[in-house]
Amino acid sequence: MAVGQASEEAVFEVVRELVDDGEYLDSIPGIPTPAPSGGGHYLRTADDGFRRIYRRGSPGYLRAKQAGLVEPLPALRTAPAEAVHEAETVIGYRLPPLLRRLYLEVGNGGFGPGYGILGLTGGHYDDTGRGALALYRRVRDPATSYWSFLPAILLPVCHWGCGIYSFIDCSRPEGPMWALDPNPGPVDQQALYREPVALAEWLDRWVKGKLYQPVLVQDPLTKKWRGATEQEYARYMAELDEPTT
């Protein structure tokens, strides 16, 4: 079901507020400490200190924020109009309005679920050093093509790690979302599936902490590959959730 313009406006404002407040990723590092304390996950700093990683919105994060143990994430730069025009020329479609506005008014990627929305030229990129348009170009280039089965209307917009990506359908203004998870086994079109949401609802779920990483599963009855159900997602995320202490 398409999401109305009013809902897109509300989602846009909430995402912009999270970016303005420096709370625009799911994993937010705490202030540097000399040693781990209290459990959870930590990153080692350049001077051999540690920074605890908090999950945005979790009880542990809220307590740490109140205690002054986390700092806002760095400010983001917006995408120049030239980068948006370049992407639309290459893809052959105008970007879905909500995504276009986020790039131009909020940030050239770097915010959102997973490792953050992929930016356009000059913006946020994945672990291969490629942003959304660079990945799109590689897919379409016969000399370097991988994911050659992907329809040309799909733009990669989010990297979740381990080769898992979310895509947006640029041929429709509401921006239906797709996902690719090659980890269970299939590395062809079986790894690609349509998600039951468009961009606005996808981001709304993320804002509310209810967006799950794409997970491909093999149906126990049909043996066909499909996206995980809400219950399967919930069990998967429960295994990854941080301690509340």
Q: What is the mean pLDDT of residues 19-42?
A: 91
Bridge partners of 178? 167, 194
The length of the chain is: 245
What is the band of 239 on the pLDDT scale with cuts at 50, 70, 90? low
Phi-psi region of 2 (alpha: psi -120 to 50; beta: other; left: phi over 0): beta
Given this model, what pLDDT does residue 245 score?
Answer: 43
Q: pLDDT band for position 229 (50/70/90)? A: confident
Domain ranges of the chain: 5-16+75-240, 27-66
| 156-159 contacts, C-beta under 8 A, 24 or more apart | 156/118, 156/132, 157/99, 157/117, 157/118, 157/132, 158/112, 158/113, 158/114, 158/115, 158/116, 158/117, 158/118, 159/114, 159/115, 159/116, 159/118, 159/126, 159/127
Lowest mean pLDDT among 34-48, 68-82, 145-159: 34-48
Q: Does the pLDDT of residue 4 top 80, yes or no?
A: no
Strand partners, 194: 178
The CATH code belonging to domain 5-16+75-240 is 3.40.1580.10
What percentage of residues in the chain have a pLDDT greater than 90? 69
In the predicted structure, residue 227 carries a pLDDT above the cut 70: yes
Mean pLDDT within 205-229: 90
pLDDT tens digit string along 107-140? 999 999 999 999 999 999 999 999 999 999 998 8
Token pair recorded at residue 174: 């509401």
Residue 188, pLDDT above cutoff 80: yes
> First vs last Cα of the chain: how many Å apart?
39
What's the pLDDT at 147?
83
Q: What pLDDT digit, counting tens, does each position of 45-78 carry?
A: 888 889 999 999 999 999 999 999 999 999 999 9
The answer to which of 8-22, 34-48, 162-176, 189-203 has the lowest mean pLDDT is 34-48
Q: Does 153 have pLDDT greater than 90? A: yes
Question: Which of 37-46, 163-172, 193-202, 213-222 comes out lowest in average pLDDT?
Answer: 37-46
96 within 8 A of 121, measured Cβ to Cβ: no
Mean pLDDT, range 203-222, rounded to an integer: 91
C-alpha torsion 117→121→122→126, nearest 10: 40
